[in-house]
Structure formats: C-alpha cells, structure tokens
Chain A
Amino acid sequence: GQQVMQIPQYQHVQEGEDFTTYCNSSTTLSNIQWYKQRPGGHPVFLIQLVKSGEVKKQKRLTFQFGEAKKNSSLHITATQTTDVGTYFCLGGSQGNLIFGKGTKLSVKP
C-alpha cells in the first residue's frame, strides 16, 4: 500500500542553525500539506503544495514539492527556539491521505 516516509525522525540543532525534513512517497501525490505540532498540542496547518516543482516560502520556512510529485521538503533557515515541535507532512494519493511519522525538532539556545 501507499507509504509516506519522513526523515529524519529527530533533529537537534543549535539556535541559528538550519533544519530540513524530507518526505518521500511510494506513489505520486495529488498534493502535500505540512503541519507543525507543538509539544502537547495538536497539528497546525502550515502550507499546501499542489504543482510539480512548486516552491513556497513563509518567512524563514521554505517548502518544496518535487518534479515527480513524490517527494517534498521543509527547510527552516536560522532556527529559533519557537520552531521547536514535530513537523509532519500529509500526502494525498489514490484516495488515501497519509501522514508521515514526523520529524521532532529540538533547538538548543
């Protein structure tokens, strides 16, 4: 069945360093969404990508959707302590909507 693999599982960075999380699907995705979940909180929508090769930016966050629409990445430039949390991708394909397992980001001040 369809799988959405997300790596790394954990990432520990020093404040000011960059951070990237990657999602890879076994099938072509119709769209991909990214969510952030703070410790003890619920997932909060960040962005949706639909087009092949699409790149979107939100301040220090850059989101990319691969040309084949099978992979996506989220890059944070110069992390801050407020970026702490788990970042999930949510991929839709063939009638299925599947979350990646998430990347837990910790930031050392």
Chain B
Amino acid sequence: AQTVTQSQPEMSVQEAETVTLSCTYDTSENNYYLFWYKQPPSRQMILVIRQEAYKQQNATENRFSVNFQKAAKSFSLKISDSQLGDTAMYFCAFMKHGTNFGNEKLTFGTGTRLTIIP
C-alpha cells in the first residue's frame, strides 16, 4: 500500500513571495504518478501539476513547479510570486502507473492549508 505524508498542516506567506510545500511518499512501485491538487474555499478540487516518476525532469506549470527526488521519495511544490488566489488547501497525491483497472485511484496526503497574506 502507498502512503503520502504532508508534514506542514498550515503555512502562510506574504503576497509575491515564494513558498514551498513538502510531500513525502512511500511505495514499492517503480512507475507511478504524483500530483498536487488545490482546493480553494469554494471546495472545487483543481489539478495544479502532475509528475511522471519515470521522467527525471521536474514538471512546471507557470508559477508552479515541483522538486521531485525519486530516491528520497520526496515531491515538493514551489509556488513563485504567490498571489491571493493561491490561498487554498493543497493536497499531494499518488497514483500507480499501468493499465490495470484500479490503478487510477488516488492516495492523498492530509493536506497543507496555505494562506497568502496581502
């Protein structure tokens, strides 16, 4: 079974600053996907960024980037030039790779509540 750990329950940062959210995971799988999801106060869960474990290059999406360390089983999210709209709960999640039914289940961490201060 997979586990995902987010050790920072809450964080806050000034607007325009850079913030890094931590995530570690445990798995015996070699190929898998990692995700960061954002859940704003409106509650709609939104995909922020995805990383495929067999790709060494870290994924980036505009102001969002990840630091993926496969050997250390670490997957942190960096938000640059933070904006008020980034205030949300952020969840790290794991998915097995493959074509078998059931592989597409997500295992989530407990979340980090991020507040951007004006």
Same assembly: no
The interface of chain B, by Cβ under 8 A from chain A, is none
User: Chain A residues in contact with chain B, CB under 8 A?
Assistant: none
